[in-house]
Amino acid sequence: MQGEYIIKQISIFSENKPGRLAAIAEALEKSNVNIYAFSIAEANSFGVVRALVDKPDDARSVLEKLGFAVQFTDVIAVRMKDQPGGLHEVAQILGDAGINIEYAYAYSGREAAVLILRVSQAGEAISKIQAAGGSLLRESDLG
């Protein structure tokens, strides 16, 4: 079952100006949503805030109520060895399979470092990583 390894990332359109991230964070705090990982991608006047959270649907609805444009995006999360060479291992598998990483960010989880990837072909990436003995996270494994 590859589908269980597809994780819902929440993507929020935000203008590139002071106070916008605070507004997003405040909203999530008030509705008791925990953020596992997040990153910001910037274009010139705006950006996209990407986050993995414990209650994506709640997060989406509270942000939309505040007027934000919000979408879910499919990503995968891979356990990395928290030591030199950890990232290399994962990146090599995808590189060899000709799968492009559109963007990635990472966080240090309780048991291992976690790499979050947006790739061109998610299904194929999952099977290649599994075939190479890599370990993927389900949504319930996050945190």
Please identify, among the stretches 28-36, 64-72, 104-112, 119-127, the one whose residues bind other proteins according to the rule CB under 8 A: 64-72
Q: Which of positions 2-21 make contact with other proteins (CB under 8 A)?
A: 9, 11, 13-15, 20
Selected from 1, 18, 45, 84, the binder of other proteins by CB under 8 A is 45
Selected from 54, 72, 86, 113, the binder of other proteins by CB under 8 A is 72
Residues in contact with 138: Cβ distance below 8 Å, sequence separation at least 6, in sequence order = 4, 5, 7
Please identify, among the stretches 27-35, 51-59, 68-76, 85-93, the one whose residues bind other proteins according to the rule CB under 8 A: 68-76
- Is-contact 79 114, C-beta < 8 A? yes
CA distance 134 to 126: 9
Task: Name the residue among 15, 59, 43 with its Cα closest to residue 51.
Answer: 59
The answer to whether residue 61 forms part of the interface with other proteins (CB under 8 A) is no
